[in-house]
Structure 1
């Protein structure tokens, strides 16, 4: 077996100066030395998510663990959580994985910005979750590349706070950042159970972008300026939802001015849920509205859910796989950034993806 030449994007100190804080670390893995319960996996894809940048920058979550397996002078950290991996080698005691399986990490903190990894399964044989294989034609690379974060977030949010969606068509969800990846998935999941959605988008979006959201199943799409007008809650919203309609869930991922109107839009006993803070803007709304409508304010964080209940994350992935295989949900497109081993600088590829992430989801594809 040939020694594997691998690459990782590493860091030691947390900083938003990615060009200087990130390093391209090259290392080798010798398959002949793997232990009976170890698996060698090769990255097929790796995502760049806002949370990844926040963790490296220091404004989000805890720092990844320090690693010594790369042979660096000092221990280093590897960024990233979301990755789709292929099993390349299995130890002699491995029975639940085979070469050619496509897998994802069960929990967080994997350190996904690397081309190869050795995974020890002795303590937890289910540390990797099989989602597909080389021979599986019903599940695509594009679906596997993003299943860990955005669709999982959307699916869990839909059911974590409200469990009695009645399917009558009278239940509604309203969300800012309506053209985000999470919003596009949530819209699809909601439509499957006949829950209607209103997606708020920043001013200046084209008709094509509006049409795209309607194709994913949005009931209404509204510009932010129209949403913030007094007429929205007084005139537009009542007309849209009808006499029996209830806005039961309001989703916030950006903060700022729209949070006030999200709360104003909720019906009696509604839930206001924050699951992201893209711009780190303040959350402000009228406490009187919360009091009189009995609004419940909650936060949602996929990482915390996964750490608290790893098997719950696995259950979510299994439900998503069923939906994908049944053709019930569309994968939301993303931009690909290619890394060719032996040719490209992995750090440069990730810096490009980080820069492009301002305009949408980025995925590094390993060739």
Structure 2
């Protein structure tokens, strides 16, 4: 029996995303998959800012993807870089035989094209994440992985009481940073936009933030970080937005501290004091999960394995997000449901994850 699937596809890049995305239906014959392949069914796939940048072009360009067991009528890109799938059938080869029906898996590499109801994957192209809930597995590949690598790829000798400081303090990445840092006794200072309610601030502290500081307080020229750190070293600063706080992140770093920029939604220019950099022997560098994963795929696998352990042992917990639902064979096209999630994201409703019912 064949499997009928649907995907969010595009053939050109543009900032006008509603104009370029379409729904494409396809057919998979499970008996036609190769011995080293597995057939997987989508359970939940996020809509990340990096995914939208990919659609605009020039960022992690999407490859052409064959959707079904027969070639597409024309070359197609499929959106989405992460998500969780369930194994439906495994090929007869030795590599595929390590998977069984019902296993939860996530793509190993970016640009997999996760916004589709079914996919054929190489046995070496996915990571087994059994032991997680679907909600955890859906987002583990990007935000928790980014937080883990930010904390562990650049400092290997954390000491109890060390600090990290981060802007984009309400983001998903920042909430995972706070949780994971706390496991090593590292304290987190999260900088947030003005106007956050006490309830929102308290929630960040529940996720492990030691201190939460508003933009206006942090950007004041008289601001002194030692008010919060009491002289403890601030070893890393995480820039997720490229906004006006960057100069003060650098200013807050201690001797031989590092600024790691992993996002630039607030702008493309990063400005900070050369005097501070020179006097403190500071390092400023970019962090890009996609590039890291392509350069060191097994490093990504190790990161995911460690995160699975942390989730399974209850040492970290899910960060809430908004769910949008697509029903295969229903009245709505998959691209329409995707655009609903995109609208929610643009209207400030937080991270969106497409669930397949």
TM over 0.5: yes
Give 3-state SS (helix, strand or coil) of 1:89's partner.
Answer: strand
Partner of 1:291: 278
CA distance in 1, matches of 2:243, 2:311: 34
2:70 aligned with 1:67: no
* Distance (Å, rounded) in 2 between the aligned partners of 1:156 and 1:38: 30
8 Å Cα contact 1:152-1:316 kept in structure 2: yes
C-alpha separation between the residues in 1 aligned to 2:155 and 2:54?
30
How much has 1:72 moved relative to structure 2?
4.0
Q: Secondary structure at the match of 1:230?
A: coil
Q: Secondary structure at 2:212's aligned position in 1?
A: strand
Q: Is the 8 A contact 1:256 1:284 kept in 2?
A: no
Aligned residue in 2 for 1:232: 223
Asked if the contact 1:274/1:298 (under 8 Å) is kept, the reply is yes
Q: Distance in 1 between matches of 2:233 and 2:67?
A: 54
Q: Distance in 1 between matches of 2:30 and 2:58?
A: 37
Aligned counterpart for 1:131 among listed residues 105, 118, 129: 129
Q: Is the 8 A contact 1:87 1:98 kept in 2?
A: yes
CA contact (8 A) 1:68 1:74 kept: no
CA contact (8 A) 2:91 2:97 kept: no
1:265-344 correspondence to structure 2 within 5 Å? 265-343=252-330, 344=332
Quote the offset at 1:324 in angstroms: 0.5
Q: Does 1:214 align with 2:202?
A: no
Q: Whole-Å Cα distance in 1 between the matches of residues 67 and 270 of structure 2?
A: 42
CA contact (8 A) 2:238 2:260 kept: yes
Contact 1:84 1:104 in 2 (8 A): yes
Q: Which residue is 1:56 aligned to?
A: 55
TM-score (norm 2): 0.95
1:59 deviation in Å? 4.4
Residue-by-residue CA offset, 1:148-195 (whole Å, 9 max, x unaligned): 00000000000111111012x1x1111000010000000001111111
2:353 to 352, 359, 363: 363
| 1: CA distance, partners of 2:33 / 2:153 | 40
SS at match of 2:152: helix
Partner Cα separation in structure 2 for residue 111 and residue 69 of structure 1: 10
Aligned partners of 2:222 and 2:216: how far apart in 1?
11
User: Number of aligned pairs?
Assistant: 350
The match for 2:113 is 111
> Are the structure 2 counterparts of residues 68 and 131 from structure 1 closer, same or farther at C-alpha, using a change threshold of 3 Å?
closer
Residues in 2 aligned to 1:240 and 1:333: alpha-carbon distance in whole angstroms: 28
- Structure 1 position 281, deviation (Å): 3.8
Tell whether 2:88 aligns with 1:88: yes
Q: Residue deviations 1:299-349, cap 9 Å, x none?
A: 100001100000000000010011111101111011000000001210001
Supply the distance in 2 between the matched residues of 1:293 and 1:362 (Cα, whole angstroms): 40
Structure 1: gaps of 5 or more residues: none
> Aligned pair 1:175/2:166, yes or no?
yes
Greater shift after overlay, 280-289 or 208-217? 280-289
Query: Using the alignment, how far apart are the partners of 1:228 and 1:192 within structure 2?
Result: 29
Instruction: Tell me the alpha carbon deviations over residues 237-293 of structure 1, each in whole angstroms, 9 at most, x when there is no partner.
Output: 2121113x0111111011121011111111111101101112234110111111011
Q: What is the Cα-based RMSD across aligned positions, in Å?
A: 1.2
Q: Distance in 2 between matches of 1:315 and 1:335?
A: 28
Partner of 2:235: 248
Contiguous gaps of at least 5 residues in structure 2: none
Report the Cα distance in structure 1 between the residues aligned to 2:110 and 2:37, rounded to whole angstroms: 19
Instruction: Check conservation: 2:67, 2:119, Cα contact below 8 A.
Output: no
| Aligned-partner Cα distance in 1 for 2:255–2:172 | 28
Mapped contact 2:169–2:175 kept (Cα < 8 A): yes
